[in-house]
Chain A
């Protein structure tokens, strides 16, 4: 964890944030809150600390409580640090029918963690999530913006291996390109 990194957007990110704000009518800048929180979570190591939330409030010129309210409502925002690879395994009906329990149990055993826990090396966090719109390619997990579908335990093994070798933080946002 980059403990001492200043909680502040890079100039590129700040420019994107400004562009997002401009998508909403005059005076309705609060609409940009969720998209900008995604920027913040990407930039600040995959989670939103109180400092990060306060910073977002200052960027949008709204009260910190307005940010806390929102962050705690939406499941994609992490209010605690997570591993570099947040493994979000879908456990809803269509995935369960095709073996999501097996996937979850396999990860638990292999990484020696329970749901909600992070491996000691800070590499993986396991989370169960609800239907991600991959029901036709079940079972599945999402890691950052990537969907890993039609999973088997073998596929899972090689996936985890690849992630370990790559050793990078996965993020939902892959690029900051926005339409003009």
Chain B
């Protein structure tokens, strides 16, 4: 059994409540930080822990915190990114629903480190019932003196609010999220300035993922060095993985970074193997945006080493033979999966979610969807495959925010690793052999 730092008490009856959470050692990090540490000491521990952002990009959290402008004289904000909309990702929902107080606790300790006196949790609107769980948890924290004025009798005060969105993947991108939080359309901002300098209401702001903020709790409790002992190399600590698709046991698993991918897929402790006794065909390891890998390359790197669940090992081989840990949205496909059709669902998603600001993304995602649709309907040509590759290439790197890249990578990777399937579809689909395909 791997170490559990976030989900340790997940099976404790009543852990949703303040009382039980507290009994299990909850809010110790707030006491420790506020009473025995200076704000910068907390940041220092987070730096030492090696924690990297769990929202997808993997940026070192302590470093991000140290960028926040503490001299501007403006209020500072911590905003928790609970927009969780990357297909294949549902870990934040699971954590917030079952152990809401770990997020509240992490928000208090992190806000203290950043010197924020007002913080927000931006949660996707579809998670309305989770927002209501958080509202209750926040109420309990206020009632017990962990939020509000003079927390635990110290000089530190914090107000924490939940803010619901209304359905838009792009609002997970941090500057779009800030726009949305200001009551506007979720159009990403040009950077610089970065949020650390001019974020919410043009004030210094840090945006962090739910899991990142929750991880601050064990980091402060254990100390950064102790946390850093878990994991491999620069992939420290534990990570929540959302496992879905053709496996026997879909769900959220907390793993120690460094677990072999093979063990994750096939052991009973985790996914329990591919369903229906079928063979593994492919995996999208880190949410819809990361390159798909065929079975061979997800289990072992091109060099023949076992692939591990770490930022580095999954990325080994670059985009030619590797992928990314991303958000930890682990989608497994069995041997019967039509890769082109799966890609179509991703591309339809990105077309739907493009904010429309940048033409390469707005137009490009629509073209790619149209071409894939045409292929699947038996109206495609072999040359369509190169048009797709080209379209993806022309979106990548040419947009304000990385949604364009996120839309382009899955297309490029599916064709890179499964070109034959695209060719077969392009050649075999005469009118009569039309594939059954949803066109909603």
Give A residues with C-beta under 8 Å from B: 23, 25, 28, 30-35, 37-38, 62, 66, 69-70, 73-77, 91-94, 96-98, 101, 104-105, 115, 128-138, 142, 145-147, 172-175, 177-180
Contact = CB atoms under 8 A, between A and B. Distances in A.
Contact of B125 (A28, A130, A172): A172
B440 interface: yes
B331 interface: yes
A140 to B, nearest CB: 10
Contacts of A66: 183-184
A96 B348 CA distance: 12
A23 B161 contact: yes
Contacts of B440: 91, 104, 115, 128
B359 interface: no
A179 B168 CA distance: 25
Contact of B244 (A77, A129, A135, A142): A135
Contacts of B436: 101
Given A28-B201, A135-B87, A179-B139, 4 more contacts: A77-B167, A92-B349, A129-B167, A146-B129
Interface stretch (B7-15, B246-254, B316-324): B246-254
Closest 10 CB pairs of A and B: A74-B166, A75-B167, A30-B183, A33-B183, A76-B167, A135-B244, A136-B250, A131-B87, A94-B244, A179-B138
B346 interface: yes
Interface residues of B, number: 66
> Which of A25, A70, A73: most chain B CB closer than 10 A?
A73
Contacts of A137: 250
17 contacts: A31-B183, A33-B183, A37-B166, A38-B125, A69-B185, A73-B168, A77-B167, A94-B245, A97-B342, A105-B438, A131-B288, A131-B349, A133-B92, A133-B127, A136-B242, A147-B129, A177-B135
Given A73-B185, A93-B284, A179-B142, A136 B244 contact: yes
A41 to B, nearest CB: 9
Contacts of A174: 128-129, 132
A75 B244 CA distance: 24
Nearest to B141: A179
Given A28-B201, A38-B125, A145-B128, A133 B93 contact: yes
Nearest to B180: A34
B337 interface: yes
B168 to A, nearest CB: 5
Interface in B237-290: 242-246, 250-252, 284, 288
B278 to A, nearest CB: 12
B104 to A, nearest CB: 10
Contacts of B348: 91, 130
B72 to A, nearest CB: 15
> Which of A38, A91, A133, A142: most chain B CB closer than 10 A?
A133
A145 to B, nearest CB: 5
